[in-house]
Structure 1
Amino acid sequence: MKILYVYQTLARYGGVERVLVDKMNYLTSHYGYEVYILTRDQGSHQIPFPLDERVHYDDLGIRLHTQYAYKGVRRLWTKIKLQCLYEHRVSKKIKEIKPDIIIGTDVMPARSLLRHKGRAKLIIESHSMYRMTYAEPTKNPIKLFLNFMAFRAYRKADMLVSLTEGDAEDWRKKNHNKRVCVIPNVVNLNTTGRLSDLSQKDVIFVGRFAKLKGIPFLMEIWKKVQTRHPDWTLNIYGDGEDKEKYADIISSLNIIVHQPTKNIHEEYCKNSIFLQTSISESFSLVIPEAMSCGLPVVAFDCPYGPRDIITEGKDGFLIPQFDVDAFVDRICCLMENLELREHMGKNAVRSSRRYNADSIMPQWQSLFSKIQE
């Protein structure tokens, strides 16, 4: 079976990129599928994760982002030219590869792939939530048209794969998709051979300094926690566009900011509690990552990821969204009770195993067989 993935770029050291590489490697090594990946804007960037040499990789050389070097009419004209070039090159590659199944991950490929897929079955992966990406109210006629085209493309796919039940329900009810299923992400779980002993007075947060990650709530929460437990430290692993905005408040609190690291599991194992304050998540890879290191989790019950991953009171706490005081109380409860941390930590390790490749990838194999019947 020939499987073709179409994606923007594998240049970023991000969650989606890691998941795609892991899945392609597994499909090749465990099932013997002939796997291809076409990127649009890779350029000279290296792929940050190890890609199996049996996976056929090619970049279309579109570099769509170069349109932003211009303004006004010239930018629009450049964008149209690059999109036409993309249509031509992706069509040519599909004819060369002759895939049985094509998997797209964003709107632009979805529309193009519907036109050029030939006899191949088209699967769309919803790595971004329906409500956050396409359902935002707008009166801009261009955006309204693009939204309409996006909705239409997703309805016409042979299958739309969502990461969570909440997102899947949005696609079914609001976009009237008749072919939707849920397959969670493959997660890069802990393989260090060790777990946190949960004795350190350290709490960890992993995420960008960005609005969607709820950084203002994190700062407010930690300020209140620190009044009750000034001997505990919050370790933040992340970077982002808003980092400097919080420099003053971070310097006034017991917070240490670290650069993102490839060895994040080693850092999880040095902490005793994991926090997530996101306003929204399409899945949240970091929660099962932390769980696999034995950490109990405290997270806002935001749409949609945490609710699917955390079992309330068993391996973590789900906090009503934006309820800062409840969030603080749960953190302090864990800080004050080592036995509770250990109990939840053991459950967290077991819960995380649902997301290893051996559990998730058979679901993909089953889907491939089903849509080809």
Structure 2
Amino acid sequence: MKTKKLLYITNGITGSGGLERVLSIKASMIADGFDYEVHLLSLNEEGKETFFSFSKNISFHSFSVSGNPVSYFTSYKNGIQKIINHIQPDIISVCDDGLKGFFLPKLIQTDSKWIYERHVSKLIEARFGQGVINKVITKVKWFLMEKLGSDFSRFIVLTDRNRKEWSTLNNLEVIPNPLSFYPGESSALDQKKVICVGKISYQKGQDLLVEAWDKVWRKHPDWKLELYGKSNEDYLNTERLKEKNILHFPPEKNIMEKYLDSSIYVMSSRFEGFGMVLIEAMACGVPCISFDCDYGPSDIIIDNEDGLLVKKESTKDLADKLLLLIENNDLRQDFGKKAKVNVQRFEQSIIAQKWDNLFKRILQEI
């Protein structure tokens, strides 16, 4: 049987964000473990080094897009069409959380089957401090996404709760993200460290975490909060946090070592698409505390069994739960052991098989 060709289309693969991390894992496990010829297309990245490692079995493609909106969109469409004509893929999977990727099935001439992968919540468009005009623009974007989403053979979301955001679509399927790693060892949970990984931003809510940490730090000044991720100093001045034992570090390639050296993971996001960092921490035997935000944490953490869910954006509750795990070593150890077991449902081979089954079903459809 002829090897089927799979093409992923995304904005970029050289960054240190969650989408790049997930794509490096997912595309690599498909290329290495199954009989697919895997291609990956990104924009403006010719010759650039990737932050995460990708399989050598993947073929990479990139082209330049720039200029005013008309020029950009024209070069975007023509560049993708040219590469698709060359590759002749059987399946195209669009991994672009913006609006432009939704138009591709209408713009591109191909017999390929189309998949759309949604990695974030719709709420990513509803940014802090939006005025009336921007709110209207956001509503229009959501409307267009719903209408255009039906052009894909499948529209993939990460959790069951994510389904609720796309109520008009009947092509939805849920496939969660795979684990990045599953080390044989676990954290001893004896270091006085709490860790949070993610870009310093309104979405990730580190401002709420800093507010909650004030209560924790005053009671336990020997504990540290470590933040890993890109920083926007206009949003949160990380230099001023050291006095409260809050330390900021840039994105870390070997983040597994940092999890293994921590005792609690905390997620303070206002909204999420999934929560990759939660399953990574749990794989290292680290108990997690998270706001019960839309969407992801409640699909990953089993509250009061392997971690704790907190009322969304309640800094008081977040502080109280942090203090509970800091002051109760036995509970911390129990949660950590159960987290490492429960997170195995996201193991790479399990998730890879879900994708393989999906590809086979789509290719059989007329």
TM value normalised by structure 1: 0.89
Would the aligned equivalents of 1:218 and 1:277 in 2 still touch at CA under 8 Å? yes
2:285 equivalent to 1:282 = no
The separation in 2 between residues aligned to 1:356 and 1:32, in whole angstroms, is 20
Query: What is the CA deviation profile of residues 139-178 of structure 1, one whole-angstrom value per residue up to 9, with x for unaligned ones?
Result: 468766655443322122111000111211211x2xx111
Aligned AA for 1:271? S
Aligned AA for 1:332? L
Would the aligned equivalents of 1:226 and 1:232 in 2 still touch at CA under 8 Å? yes
The one of 45, 53, 57 equivalent to 1:54 is: 57
The separation in 1 between residues aligned to 2:297 and 2:80, in whole angstroms, is 36
The separation in 2 between residues aligned to 1:163 and 1:82, in whole angstroms, is 30
**Number of the residue aligned with 1:124:** 116
1:244, CA displacement in angstroms?
7.5
Query: What is the CA deviation profile of residues 213-262 of structure 1, one whole-angstrom value per residue up to 9, with x for unaligned ones?
Result: 11221111111012222222212222311378434651331222223211
2:188 equivalent to 1:197 = yes
Query: What is the CA deviation profile of residues 275-301 of structure 1, one whole-angstrom value per residue up to 9, with x for unaligned ones?
Result: 111111111111111111111111100
2:316 equivalent to 1:321 = no
The separation in 1 between residues aligned to 2:308 and 2:155, in whole angstroms, is 30
- Residues 138 and 189 of structure 1: is their aligned pair in 2 closer, same or farther, counting only changes over 3 Å? farther
- Residues 265 and 150 of structure 1: is their aligned pair in 2 closer, same or farther, counting only changes over 3 Å? same
2:341 equivalent to 1:338 = no
- Residues 24 and 239 of structure 1: is their aligned pair in 2 closer, same or farther, counting only changes over 3 Å? closer
Would the aligned equivalents of 2:207 and 2:236 in 1 still touch at CA under 8 Å? no
The separation in 1 between residues aligned to 2:81 and 2:132, in whole angstroms, is 32
- Residues 313 and 59 of structure 1: is their aligned pair in 2 closer, same or farther, counting only changes over 3 Å? same
**Number of the residue aligned with 1:104:** 94
The separation in 1 between residues aligned to 2:93 and 2:238, in whole angstroms, is 41
The separation in 1 between residues aligned to 2:51 and 2:194, in whole angstroms, is 28
The one of 221, 224, 227 equivalent to 1:236 is: 227
The one of 337, 353, 366 equivalent to 2:357 is: 366
**Number of the residue aligned with 1:257:** 248
The one of 94, 102, 116 equivalent to 2:84 is: 94
Would the aligned equivalents of 1:189 and 1:288 in 2 still touch at CA under 8 Å? no
> Comparing 223-232 with 141-150, which one deviates more in the overlay?
141-150
**Number of the residue aligned with 1:13:** 16
Would the aligned equivalents of 1:189 and 1:352 in 2 still touch at CA under 8 Å? no
2:153 equivalent to 1:158 = yes
1:38, CA displacement in angstroms?
1.3
Query: What is the CA deviation profile of residues 89-139 of structure 1, one whole-angstrom value per residue up to 9, with x for unaligned ones?
Result: 211222222211110022313312333252211100001212433899964
Aligned AA for 2:120? S
Unaligned runs of 5+ in 1: 68-77
The separation in 2 between residues aligned to 1:134 and 1:124, in whole angstroms, is 21
**Number of the residue aligned with 2:237:** 246
1:360, CA displacement in angstroms?
0.5
**Number of the residue aligned with 1:74:** none
Would the aligned equivalents of 1:3 and 1:36 in 2 still touch at CA under 8 Å? yes
**Number of the residue aligned with 1:26:** 29
The separation in 2 between residues aligned to 1:266 and 1:163, in whole angstroms, is 26
The separation in 2 between residues aligned to 1:111 and 1:158, in whole angstroms, is 14
Partner-residue secondary structure (3-state), 2:203: helix
Partner-residue secondary structure (3-state), 1:127: coil
State, as a whole percentage, how many aligned pairs show the same letter: 30
Aligned AA for 2:228? Y
The separation in 1 between residues aligned to 2:71 and 2:227, in whole angstroms, is 42
**Number of the residue aligned with 1:178:** 170
Query: What is the CA deviation profile of residues 176-233 of structure 1, one whole-angstrom value per residue up to 9, with x for unaligned ones?
Result: 1110011011221243x42111112221111222111112211111110122222222
Aligned pair count?
Answer: 356
- Residues 363 and 39 of structure 1: is their aligned pair in 2 closer, same or farther, counting only changes over 3 Å? same
Partner-residue secondary structure (3-state), 1:294: coil
Aligned AA for 1:168? R
Partner-residue secondary structure (3-state), 1:352: helix
The separation in 2 between residues aligned to 1:56 and 1:251, in whole angstroms, is 44
The separation in 2 between residues aligned to 1:137 and 1:177, in whole angstroms, is 29
Unaligned runs of 5+ in 2: none
Aligned AA for 2:309? L
Partner-residue secondary structure (3-state), 1:200: coil
**Number of the residue aligned with 2:69:** 79
Whose helix fraction is larger, Structure 1's or Structure 2's?
1
> Comparing 282-291 with 130-139, which one deviates more in the overlay?
130-139
The one of 165, 173, 187 equivalent to 2:179 is: 187
**Number of the residue aligned with 2:39:** 36
The separation in 2 between residues aligned to 1:22 and 1:93, in whole angstroms, is 23
Would the aligned equivalents of 1:134 and 1:147 in 2 still touch at CA under 8 Å? no
- Residues 240 and 161 of structure 1: is their aligned pair in 2 closer, same or farther, counting only changes over 3 Å? same
**Number of the residue aligned with 1:292:** 283
Query: What is the CA deviation profile of residues 35-57 of structure 1, one whole-angstrom value per residue up to 9, with x for unaligned ones?
Result: 11111221442222232222121
- Residues 201 and 53 of structure 1: is their aligned pair in 2 closer, same or farther, counting only changes over 3 Å? closer
**Number of the residue aligned with 1:351:** 342
- Residues 244 and 300 of structure 1: is their aligned pair in 2 closer, same or farther, counting only changes over 3 Å? closer
